[in-house]
Structure 1
Amino acid sequence: MTRFNAKSTTDDVLAGVYLAGQRFLVTGVSAGLGVETARALVAHGADVVGAARDLAKAEAATGAIREAAAASGGSFELIALDLASLASVRAAADRLLADGRPFDVIITNAGVMAAPFGKTADGFETQFGTNHLGHFTFVNRIAPLIKDGGRLVSLASSGHRFSNIDLDDPNFDRGDYDPWIAYGRAKTANILFAVEFDRRHRGRGIRAAALHPGGIQTELSRHLDDGALAALVEQINASAQAAGGDAFEFKSIPQGAATSVWAATVAEPDEIGGRYLEDCHVAELADGEGLRAGFRSYALDPDNAKALWAKSEEMVGERF
């Protein structure tokens, strides 16, 4: 079996793979990793539904996807999805359920990072509400559309190392907001959601995994000025050096999307189910300090995952 690494691209991962007849849903297809993920899939014959908050922006950003689909015999369509509004989330889910066509894989790629303090339309802290609760509600509502043997791929981040979830104060009502702590909580939640979704659905052969795509310069970093980005890279390098690892390098967008595509298509489902992935392989436990490779134990803790699920149901007012 071919082993891929941090420098592998989407085209490397999908070399020789034909995805005709398979249907994928990718959130966040108006820029960056979402566009490249969808392009790579349709280029190999897949049918892809892309979800985006701003349809006009997504239309403008997805020309290359449509060209790839036309050349391969795949297809691409867009739906509106604002993860910061449960009304929009539910409307998008209802539309897909009414359509009724099943999905082989759902890739929850959309997200925000290190945003200033704010609230979603439903009053949730912006990052937890958008990155976690929006996807939690959307995916659970359309879970009946995932085929037996299908997959859920949840984009998380090594940023989960900043913080465990805080179920006592998920919205920072105490006023101690820090954009990186909030990002850490949301990304830990993305991993824990995959852990519990995998446990609940593996009886149908559905496996769920979370992943860190790597450091990529995309619109995700729009809330960071150059100084903040440089400081983050310095912090990552210090952690890597302390752990005896390599210096940090930004990935290209095709390299950044490779782990998503790997997890969605060619990775062994039993190898990745309920796990955290990076650089096209299953990551190892690394509870030491700092932003380094590997996952913190709280992010794959099954009891933590169950507690988050229950709290999330309470917050969105739905049981799944």
Structure 2
Amino acid sequence: MTTTFGATSTTDEVLQGVDLSGKRVLVTGVSAGLGVETARTLAAHGAKVVGAARDLAKAERATSEARAGAANGGSLELIELDLASLKSVRACADALVADGRPFDVVIANAGVMRTPFGHTEDGFETQFGTNHLGHFVFVNRIASLIAPGGRLVNVSSAGHRYSDVDLDDPNFERTPYEPMVSYGRSKTANILFAVEFDRRHKSRGVRATALHPGGIPTELARHMEPGEIERMLEQINAQAATEGQPPFQWKTVSQGSATSVWAAFVGQADEVGGRYCENCHVSSVTDGTIGIISEGVRRYALDPEHAKALWAKSEEMVGERF
């Protein structure tokens, strides 16, 4: 009998009885929050986890318990990766390719949210450059290491509903900068990247998916103004009341990481491939409200032609073809 998981399921519940011995998994963003919990539970179930982080000292501290809790042959090693620097991205990817050991799953978890207007080392708008372009180059450079039957899991967000990508002005050179619109663009890009990566690699048995982890109080919100979260929650709960839904509930970090491990190892490949998941299941297309209580993925985020166009624009921006 297949167990049904949902919004309150935890990583350990999703992986209960699942032996990941012999599996090798790469997780980006293991210095805090979801990345640390994802790495912890995978290593505890026997996986050999490679955790990527910009700040290795911070990651060492954050993952000390995860490394101590590795079991059944599981382990957690750390590598340096700064997604806001293509020099760092390429150096990290080249080192992994030179090492040559394959991965069963790559979980692109790292990201920034609602940052002030700024640019990456290479001149890209910070959120689009870090959340999308950094992962775009990194994942494509190590794509040959993802073993047949393997998966790419992109951690996106319900925030994708705030904005489609703008292929004519990705760096806000002509558009007034809005932090949440920028975040929305980058999270839509995470989904579209998964859609096109899945199309390109499914013939060799590698599938890609994207997901919304849920609302979790993590470091990701560190750029928000004092009181901004409280005001946002008031708006969300007012919307929920009009829709006849209960008030918003934060997820724990373990509940927030559950969809990542579900999409990586529990959901069926043909079910999750090229799709968007949340609350440990595949989500349906919605054209409804923006708020993060109701589920659903915007139609533009799954459009295959849109995904091809983003891929081409991304290649143009980074100066590299894949």
**What TM bracket, shorter-length normalisation?**
over 0.9
Contact 1:115 1:179 in 2 (8 A): yes
In structure 2, the residue matched to 1:28 is 29
Aligned partner letter, 1:141: R
Find the aligned partners of 1:151 and 1:241 in 2 and give their Cα distance.
38
CA shift digits 1:231-266 (9 cap, x unpaired):
222233234334443321100000000000101111
Matches within 5 A, 1:1-320: 1-69=2-70, 71-291=71-291, 292-320=294-322
Find the aligned partners of 1:203 and 1:26 in 2 and give their Cα distance.
24
Contact 2:82 2:89 in 1 (8 A): yes
Find the aligned partners of 1:253 and 1:10 in 2 and give their Cα distance.
9
Find the aligned partners of 1:243 and 1:167 in 2 and give their Cα distance.
34
- How far residue 217 of structure 1 moved from its aligned partner, in angstroms, is 0.4
Where 1:19 maps in the other structure, the secondary structure is coil
Aligned partner letter, 1:205: G
Contact 2:155 2:213 in 1 (8 A): yes
Find the aligned partners of 1:231 and 1:286 in 2 and give their Cα distance.
25
Aligned partner letter, 1:22: K
- How far residue 175 of structure 1 moved from its aligned partner, in angstroms, is 4.8
Find the aligned partners of 2:282 and 2:241 in 1 and give their Cα distance.
22
TM-score, normalised relative to structure 2: 0.97
Change in Cα spacing, 1:243 to 1:276, as seen in structure 2 (3 Å) is: farther
- How far residue 286 of structure 1 moved from its aligned partner, in angstroms, is 1.3
Aligned partner letter, 2:304: P
Find the aligned partners of 2:171 and 2:242 in 1 and give their Cα distance.
33
CA shift digits 1:7-60 (9 cap, x unpaired):
000010010110000000000000000000000000000000000000011011
Percent identity over paired residues? 69
Aligned partner letter, 1:229: I
Contact 1:235 1:290 in 2 (8 A): no
Find the aligned partners of 2:108 and 2:285 in 1 and give their Cα distance.
23
Can you give the 5+ residue segments of structure 2 that lack an aligned partner in the other structure? Answer: none
Where 2:106 maps in the other structure, the secondary structure is strand
CA shift digits 1:86-143 (9 cap, x unpaired):
0000000000000000000000000000000000000000000000000000000000
Can you give the 5+ residue segments of structure 1 that lack an aligned partner in the other structure? Answer: none
Contact 2:30 2:51 in 1 (8 A): yes
Aligned-residue CA RMSD (Å):
1.0
Contact 2:169 2:175 in 1 (8 A): no
TM-score, normalised relative to structure 1: 0.98
- How far residue 225 of structure 1 moved from its aligned partner, in angstroms, is 3.0
Where 1:177 maps in the other structure, the secondary structure is coil
Where 1:72 maps in the other structure, the secondary structure is coil
Find the aligned partners of 1:238 and 1:313 in 2 and give their Cα distance.
42
Find the aligned partners of 1:240 and 1:278 in 2 and give their Cα distance.
18
Aligned partner letter, 1:2: T
Where 1:122 maps in the other structure, the secondary structure is coil
Tell me the number of residue pairs that the alignment of Structure 1 and Structure 2 aligns: 319
